[in-house]
Structure 1
């Protein structure tokens, strides 16, 4: 039958007042046994057990009460009872575990870590490494922001054979370390993750793994990892490209691996334009990368990207030249010149390659490539009735006169100088000669009377009417004409034609050497010398301009207009360089021959007045 609780508790109080602790314990025990959910009585009984030196009995009661309160959600009261247990039994691990859990539930992370750490330390001290690792794993789950504790927990899981859980935690930690700005720790965690799960094919894992391998110089390993990403679709391919741009400044060789793998993916999808765009961007950021340039040319050819392939070839030739690989550069430059003989850059590349290879006659070698290609190009346009809307001609030339078989071709000559005088140039600011300093002016007297007399004779003979503008067939007439024994004239004609081609291409400096050779022949001296004079005048190199004008004046001009234009130019340049007396003499003779020619009368008046005042 049930006992009288109130009477029993009153008797227990009497026993305590008279010092009979055992009797009081007996009364409380009877009540606790009769009413097991009387937690207050059980707690009081536990306290009496402590006073009586019976801690084990006290711990049992405290634990039963604490577990009940914990289950009911009374965490502070439960915690207080577990702490009572630790006072009676400091090494009671179950109570420490419970206190750690309660502290974590209440957000008291420092207290929770302290309880768990004490347990792990005690277990290690007694050699229970497995038990210690269990606590470390639990510590790793407490605070998501404590990355070091999380890493220790993952490592403990790996030590205890739970590779799957460890790999999952490592993968999560990789992202967390990156977000916290700890890339070195992230890299280490990534290696741990691969160790636990070597067959992982997660794109989010493969890409950083490849990046790590690339930064460490393990290019083959990185290529193997990267090659698995395109299977993930455009996202994987784009990730490779993004990785390339992240590495391009610090690790260009590693970036090249990314570009190569991404190019493979684009080509496999027949997206040649995207592949070429990627390679172009890479070679722009990292110039001179021959493997990438070779791949760019290959992609352009396979994808029929005509506009891009020529630019790629030019860059490849430049890269070869920079490395001194003139043989490869020459082959590419010859191909480019044959396709576009009017492109100054292509001709320049061929010239540099020939110079490196120490070719004896560079001009002849270039001519052998430029001339046929230029003629073929012109013929192609002519067949299609298409002409260049804005041809580049550094020096205007007159039509080529007709010729008879068996005679040397008559060289075209410069058109007469326009009536607007050239701007004067300070001779002290003249540019140096292309092979050194400008040559000093020679005091060569021109036999103007003889020259003008020759002009009068030629004026009596009507000149043939103007023909249509010369095409490239006319330019190369000297090359195709059989002149019998006139081999020297043939050679001069070849160089003269080559110079004409250079001028039409807008390459006056390249034309100089060929014109100098052509000027050795009397047949071409007037035209070649006149062209050279104009080239030097355009370059503000007036001393050599005068020299070549005087050389042109030594031979008969093709006609009166050409001769007068030459004398006008000579006088104009003489006046510009500060030779007024010589300029006046030339203008006077020109005025006597053609009184109304351009502004000669005004020039004579001004120079005469200056001479008188001087």
Structure 2
């Protein structure tokens, strides 16, 4: 063997040791985000991108759930270095940045996405992305402006104008009037023969404090109605424009058409709140879905919604990992199947987890851990007899050490208690107390039996 071959073998062996060590840490503490992050980084470094992204995605979810959003952001940035085209990861990053108050960073990420040609496979996908980010950045007009751009490119000018209406208050409040005005000007230039769009544009100009742009457009529309022989509509439009000239607040009232101005003007003013005003009536209870308990339909909090979305992202990463495992590994790597089983169990895919743990049990080094997880999974499925049978099978073998046998017996007692078989559990726990009275919590568990 040459010196170079020896050198390669040494580092290949060291790399395998590192992977095994990191995998064991994840197996022993599956909810430790740092352990998953380290394993994910290692896997990425050795070129196993799919597996690495799966571990990093789980790490980010755990960090955020534990209240360490800044660490989750750092993990997401690592993920995007290896998968820069992932819209799911990018959307997740923008949401976290916005939630942490890092609006400028979130806006920068949004601009980066919008400037990248070919990132989205369709306009519908692009609109969906920006519509979701608009929920994360309710005070920022950029997502709405980008949606308006998409609709304008599709020649859906009314829809484009409607998005600009939704963005106008945020544009004024954030000082992004220049970008907003550029889009209004472009929209108006495309709508020279579409009065409804020009009407929207005229009122948008007024809403951002540019009457010198908006009033000429609206006056032009009055002339247009008169030329069409619609004196009544022209009179209504003229009345609305006169109200604007007298100081009608377009932005404050949210009126973006002649009819909306007249409707708001004719509506009775709401009386000011009075100290002696009667209390507001109690709202009627929300009707629940058939079969649900009254009052059980509680709204989902933004945080819960965020976690659900992240779980979908993790599920997608898991799907890619599953395909890779079946294609490249098959049944030849029990450790990979063991890790996949843990992932399935965490996602609640118990049937799939059972299959993976059974495969992993074929490797002697994994037999104890895989059998214990398999027993837990079977118990979660509501089959305590099968769970206990798995532990009995391993205990009957000759491979467990004395310490491992004690762990398995304790696990069996816990499962028996969970299924209501207290008599058998009592016998095991008392025997464990005689052997090692300070083992785990057997002293407390057997106190009632010994008195």
Q: State TM-score, norm by structure 2.
A: 0.40
Q: State TM-score, norm by structure 1.
A: 0.30
Which structure has the bigger radius of gyration? 1
